[in-house]
Chains A and B, each alone.
Chain A
């Protein structure tokens, strides 16, 4: 089945950029998502990218997609303490969404 992998943890200083990486295995993925989860809360959709795109920018967020390498990244510019959370990438193939294990981002002042 589909496998989506993320690094477990990222520590970054306030004001720096954060880059969270994700790899996936299903070449038929149609959408790829980034979600943010704060403690005890549900998932908040941050952004998504269609598989026929290679970049999408939305304010402080930049998503890069390398379809050949099946690699997705999320860059957060000017990281703030409120960005501390767990970030999940997920891909859609068919009607099925598969999540990565989540990357815990800790922003230090």
Chain B
């Protein structure tokens, strides 16, 4: 079945640094990728939707200059948390969906990346 790989699974960084998280669709071409944020014991909050080759669409309240999303190819999207602060510490999860021909037209999630900002 469809597999989405997310890297790194855990990252600890100092306040003020930038962190990049990668999301890859391993065996299908992802027409759309989604980035979510999950606070402890809460549900997932959609941050942005990205389509290959175009700018990401951010949800209301999500700072696009803070959370840079690049969907450079049909198998890779990256989320960069710029100038990270402790309040950015969270669990970030990506998901991807392909078109009907890809056999992956159901959302598949990555395993998540836990960011801790000191």
Contact = CB atoms under 8 A, between A and B. Distances in A.
Interface size class of A (residues with CB under 8 A): 20 to 34
Interface string B36-65: 000000111010010000000000000000
Interface in B82-118: 93, 95, 106-112, 114
Contacts of A95: 32, 49
Interface residues of B, number: 18
Interface in A61-109: 88, 92, 95-102
Where chain B touches its partner, the secondary structure class is strand
A45 B46 contact: no
B6 interface: yes
B112 A41 contact: yes
B34 interface: yes
Where chain A touches its partner, the secondary structure class is strand
B111 A101 contact: no
A96 B32 contact: no
22 contacts: A31-B106, A33-B106, A40-B114, A41-B111, A42-B93, A42-B110, A42-B111, A42-B112, A43-B44, A43-B93, A43-B109, A44-B109, A45-B106, A45-B107, A88-B43, A96-B46, A96-B49, A97-B95, A99-B43, A100-B43, A102-B42, A102-B43
